[in-house]
Amino acid sequence: MATIDGRFLHPGRAAGPVLVLDAPLSFWGGTDLSGRIIDRHHPQHGECVAGTILAMRSGRGSSSSSSVLAEQIRQGTAPAGLVLAEPDPIIVVAVVVAQELYGRSVPVVLVPPSRFASLRSGLPARIGGVQQGGQP
């Protein structure tokens, strides 16, 4: 199983099938509470992010996305971990809050664009190795 390492924006360990998004996704208005992509304009409309290692180049959209992602973590329908190529405050606030409230850690790792481009949907991968940054 491939290991994805980089700069941890939030620490933790996760494993699951990789889902590489072809376009940025707003969790608010773009996904439902079961983790399904409901944005009709999104190329992966209908796919499900729950339990995946979700690779998205950058975040997009409303700051209410923090609430939706944190609620998915509460309900167990969130991605297992997230891989970004650009830092995204909305995603990081969501995982920090879910950690505070429910003790559930969804790691967020920032990788260089070249590493991001090498990721392929469907292959199993693991996040977690040398950890830095974020709050324990």
Partner 1 sequence: MLRGEQGPAVAMAMRVVVGLAEVRDAPRLVEVTSAHIDGCLFHGQVGLDFARRLLDLGGRTRVPTTLNVGSMDLLHPDLVRADTPEHREIREQGRALMEAYVALGARPTWTCAPYLVDARPALGEHVAWAESNAIAFANSVLGARTDRYGDFLDICAAITGRAPYAGLHTDEARRGQVLVDCTAIPAHVLTGDLAGALLGYIVGLRVGSRVPVLVGLPSTTSEDQLKAFGAAAASSGGVAMFHVVGITPEAPTVEAALGPLAPPAAVETIRLTPDDLRAARTALTTARGDHLDVVSIGTPHASLDEVAQLAAHLAGGPPLSERVDLYLSLNRSVLAQAQQHGLVTPLEQAGVRLVVDTCTYVTPILRSDARVAMTNSGKWAHYAPANLGIDVVVGSLAECVASARAGRVVLDEGTLG
The span of 15-23, 68-76, 111-119, 121-129 binding partner 1 (CB under 8 A) equals: 68-76
User: Cα-flanking dihedrals φ and ψ of residue 92, to 5°?
Assistant: -65, -40
From CA 61, how far away is CA 24, in angstroms rounded? 9
Q: Which of 3, 34, 64, 118 binds partner 1 (CB under 8 A)?
A: 64
Catalytic residue among 62, 63, 65, 121: 62
26 is catalytic: no
- Alpha carbon separation from 53 to 13, 19, 62, 120 (Å, rounded): 11, 6, 22, 11
In whole angstroms, the minimum distance from the beta carbon of 59 to partner 1 comes to 11
Instruction: Determine if 10 is a binding residue for partner 1 (CB under 8 A).
Output: yes
Written as one letter, the residue type at 12 is G
Q: Is 92 helix (H, G, I), strand (E, B) or coil?
A: helix
Binding segment toward partner 1, per CB under 8 A, in 13-21, 49-57, 91-99, 120-128: 91-99
First-to-final CA distance of the chain? 25
Residues that bind partner 1 (CB under 8 A): 9-10, 28-29, 33, 62-68, 70-71, 73-74, 87-90, 92-94, 96-98, 100-101, 133-135
